[in-house]
């Protein structure tokens, strides 16, 4: 169970208790984050202030603020960091980072 730390004006927080991994549903219903698309949205978790697109905001909160999941650059999701590290050894998307030769 996690407490939602989405910030409201005047230093207040949402404080809603989120069970399991229902974070995206909560962000959608209560805070108006669709969880899809590339519209810009500001992360207000603990007044973080980072700008992301709607589609990656839930990932950002789960990974950075809740620490419950870890994401590879390819979009794969892992519940443990060692599982992510294992995956990265064989992940093509990750290994291509920085020297992409893919033509679009």
Map residues 7-46 to x or -, x wherever contact with Zn ion holds by CB under 5 A.
Answer: -------x-x-------------x------------x-x-
Q: CA 45, 36, 23, 21 torsion: positive or negative? A: negative
Tell me if 74 contacts Zn ion by CB under 5 A.
Answer: yes
The structure tokens listed for 84 are 């992510």
Tell me if 56 contacts Zn ion by CB under 5 A.
Answer: no
Q: 72: Cβ–Cβ under 8 A, 6 or more apart, which residues?
A: 78, 84, 87, 88, 91, 93, 94
From candidates 66, 76, 77, 78, binder to Zn ion by CB under 5 A: 76
Quickly list H helices, 11-80: 23-31, 54-60
Tell me if 5 contacts Zn ion by CB under 5 A.
Answer: no
Q: 96: Cβ–Cβ under 8 A, 6 or more apart, which residues?
A: 102
Whole-number minimum distance, CB 36 to Zn ion, in Å?
A: 18
Interface residues with Zn ion (CB under 5 A) are 4, 6, 14, 16, 30, 43, 45, 48, 50, 72, 74, 76, 91, 94
């Amino acid at each position: 169970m996690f407490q939602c730390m989405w910030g409201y004006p005047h230093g207040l927080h949402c404080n809603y208790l989120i069970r399991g991994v229902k974070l995206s549903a909560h962000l959608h219903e209560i805070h108006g984050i669709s969880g899809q698309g590339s519209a810009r949205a500001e992360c207000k978790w603990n007044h973080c202030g980072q700008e992301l697109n709607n589609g990656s905001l839930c990932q950002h909160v789960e990974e950075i603020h809740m620490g419950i999941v870890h994401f590879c650059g390819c979009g794969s999701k892992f519940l443990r960091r060692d599982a992510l590290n294992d995956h990265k050894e064989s992940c093509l998307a990750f290994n291509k980072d920085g020297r992409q030769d893919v033509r679009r």
